[in-house]
Structure 1
Amino acid sequence: MITQAALPLALAFIMFAMGLTMDGRDFKTVFGHPRAMAVGLAAKLVLLPALGLALVLAWKPEPDFAVGMILLAACPAGVTSALLTHHAGGRIALAATITALTSLAATLTVPLLVNVGLALFAGYDRSVEIPVAKMTLGIFLVDTVPLALGLGIQRLWPRAAARLGRVARPVATLLFALIVVGAFVSQRQALIDHVHDVVPAALALNLAAMTGAWMLGALARLELADRIAVVMENGLQNGALGIFVAVTLLGNPAMMVPSIVYAFVMNLTALAFIWAVKRRRVVTG
């Protein structure tokens, strides 16, 4: 189900749809109160990769899975983060801003961190070609360019963007689901063989990322709505990008296994978090 042609096109559409649904006026509000944005970016760009590296060092998985976990931790927020932030009562504009900025930064951060993972964990007994230029260009074309295009249409033709967004967002969510399911089918034997290794590691990374983001938000004394957005952004990863980099740019399907597993795990924990936040509001009411 996953092909080298269909996967980048699907991911590009997902990023385009994300850009269409972002309102520039919301960004002004977020940038006017930058503390929450700074906390969110610190959690996403510093804390999460550090947690991924620490987990791999402690877990000591097979080299391909180790690089796959580093790749996953380097990815920006997932396409469903703003939607689930909304359901949790978080600040959507903050979530959208963090998603946009980390997606733009992915052109630099993903190749950098993946190359660190390749050097540390995959090159110990064999020569590994690190495709820096290819990876950077590929991420730029399927991640940054479509996002910027969607933002540009939203800025210049907001009514057209709104109409397109109403259709594009559910299609993007469906495409994300198909990518994950397709990746699962293509790697089902690897998942079955390593379920006891990969699932606990993915769950541990997800819970550590969400807990760490919550603690950072508490230390910064963020409002609850901002803290919820930061937690969601740190817990929900762009697994489609992780799959794309592993399959298309690195040519190593085994490296996408952590992204597949995490894509399932993160949505379960996000739903649990939404339930807990709503229950807290009812109790404190």
Structure 2
Amino acid sequence: MQSNLLTSVLLPLALAIVMLGMGLSLVPEDFKRVTRYPKAVAVGTVCQLLLLPLIGTLIALVVPMQPEIAVGLVVLAVCPGGPSSNLVTYLARGDVALSVTLTAVSSLVTVLTIPVVTNLALQYFVGESAAIALPIGSTMLQIFLITLLPIAIGMAIRYQFPDTARRLEKQMSYLAAGLLALIIVLLLIREGSKLPGFLVQVGIGVVLLNVFATLTGFLAARIFRLSLAQQICIAIEVGLQNGTLAIAITAGLLNNPDMAVPAAVYSLLMYVTGFGAIVYGRKAIGGMTTVKY
């Protein structure tokens, strides 16, 4: 697929808007929480950055699927938690401050890990002969420009104009959701002839990734005796990935819409799990006070 309006403009724009909206909700205090409850941050970060990519890779190896789909699944697994995880955590009465911290930390670290893991997945599943490459240096720069820079701009606006930031935050979330929905629809239409076969492959892999990721986060938090609010937060944070970033990398940077199919399907499916987490959290925690930001 050649570069077009979808991959060169809409994808980066949608992702930048999502990140800008997240930046509008962040303050420097959110990053200081790493020292306030290090065990919860460490558990969530290890689950996101180590266990989740491992789960995605194992699923790609075990479940029969085309090489491009396997790469797309691994890319999705290595992406950080999405901004939607903060909202779902809030609605589920989880620890929102921890959710924001984990999203911020994983967004910073994955700028370095995504290019490396993606290249390894390309070499293993597609093969070097496929002549598909993802230059690590330039990819880090591109991810920085469409993720960390908008977050920094959003935080600067929040710091200087807090009232304006609060008003813009909601509008930006609506705009980002609309753009993401449009991108997913266009991708699915563009690949309509391949869609039935892809869904057979992607459906199983995506469901397994979503379920195992969520359970891994929840069980890990429980093993380390974190509070129920933190258990719910980590389960959601590990289970809801930044599908927009995965689509931007696969369909945008790699110019391969086939690889974007797992992220497109996952971006819809994860809200089913998210809704389940909301129902569980509201019943389990009830009227207990949760940490908010």
TM-score by length of 1: 0.92
Are positions 1:19 and 2:30 aligned together? no
Which 5+ residue runs of structure 1 have no aligned equivalent?
A: none
TM-score by length of 2: 0.90
Are positions 1:268 and 2:276 aligned together? no
Question: What whole-Å deviation, never above 9, does each CA across 1:62-118 have from its counterpart, x for those lacking one?
Answer: 110111111100111122111111110011111111111111222111101101101
Work out whether residues 71 and 122 of structure 2, in 8 Å CA contact, stay in contact via their aligned partners in 1.
yes
Work out whether residues 22 and 151 of structure 2, in 8 Å CA contact, stay in contact via their aligned partners in 1.
yes
Equivalent runs, 1:1-285 vs 2, <5 Å: 2-29=6-33, 31-123=35-127, 125-281=129-285
Which shows bigger deviation, 148-157 or 87-96?
148-157
CA distance in 1, matches of 2:28, 2:120: 35
User: Secondary structure of 2:80's match?
Assistant: coil
Work out whether residues 213 and 239 of structure 2, in 8 Å CA contact, stay in contact via their aligned partners in 1.
yes
Q: In structure 1, what residue type is equivalent to 2:191?
A: Q
CA distance in 2, matches of 1:188, 1:22: 39
CA distance in 2, matches of 1:97, 1:188: 38
Percent sequence identity is 37
Which 5+ residue runs of structure 2 have no aligned equivalent?
A: 287-293
Which shows bigger deviation, 235-244 or 133-142?
133-142
The alpha carbon displacement at 1:149 in A equals 1.5
Work out whether residues 72 and 259 of structure 1, in 8 Å CA contact, stay in contact via their aligned partners in 2.
yes
CA distance in 2, matches of 1:203, 1:182: 22
CA distance in 2, matches of 1:15, 1:127: 31
CA distance in 2, matches of 1:195, 1:13: 29
Work out whether residues 14 and 176 of structure 1, in 8 Å CA contact, stay in contact via their aligned partners in 2.
no
CA distance in 1, matches of 2:238, 2:265: 16
Which shows bigger deviation, 58-67 or 180-189?
180-189
CA distance in 1, matches of 2:113, 2:245: 13
Two-structure CA RMSD over aligned residues (Å): 2.0
Q: In structure 2, what residue type is equivalent to 1:241?
A: L
- Report how many residues are paired: 283
The alpha carbon displacement at 1:156 in A equals 3.5
CA distance in 2, matches of 1:189, 1:79: 32
Flag the 1:264–1:119 CA change in 2: closer, same or farther, 3 A.
Answer: same
CA distance in 1, matches of 2:132, 2:172: 39
